[in-house]
Amino acid sequence: MNPQKLLIADADVKLVETLATHFRSRGFEVKTAYDALTILKLVHLDTPDAFVLDINLQCRNGICVCELLSDERRFSFIPAILLTETAQDALKHDCHGLRATYVAKGTMLPTRVEQALSKVASREPMVFAAT
């Protein structure tokens, strides 16, 4: 069985590398990006099974990237996990409308992302509020 492909994007290089190392050690094939334009290029070259991306990406925000990708049928069912500093009600609404999951940044972020990915894989409801 091929490894699950994960695309991780955030402007914070250290955060991206921490998450990439974590998921590679668990058998994922990981691609990384640091801005929205690179995400869009990578998705067209090698479609991932899931995205982990920052809400506040350079060039475009994470929600906008999800909206752009959902407009293309072949990408519309790829689950997205959006990383955020805060969990605002408007963000919850936007994520729910996109069938995306959001995870608050902070301690134990790799574990929280892993929990969100398992919810996505099991087809549970896709809004995950970190506590």
Which of 37, 39, 108, 111 lies closest to 80, judged by CA? 39
Which of 104, 101, 114, 111 lies closest to 28, judged by CA? 114
What domains appear along the chain, each with residue ranges and CATH number?
5-121 (3.40.50.2300)
On whether the CB atoms of residues 8 and 31 are closer than 8 A, the answer is: yes
Cα–Cα distance between 131 and 129 in angstroms, integer?
6
The stretches of 1-131 forming alpha helices (DSSP H) are 13-24, 36-45, 62-70, 89-97, 109-121
Cα–Cα distance between 65 and 53 in angstroms, integer?
9
* Per-residue pLDDT of the chain in tens (131 residues, 90 and over written 9): 566 899 999 989 999 999 999 999 999 999 999 988 888 899 989 989 888 888 776 656 666 777 777 777 777 777 888 887 765 545 554 555 555 677 778 778 888 788 777 766 655 433 333 33
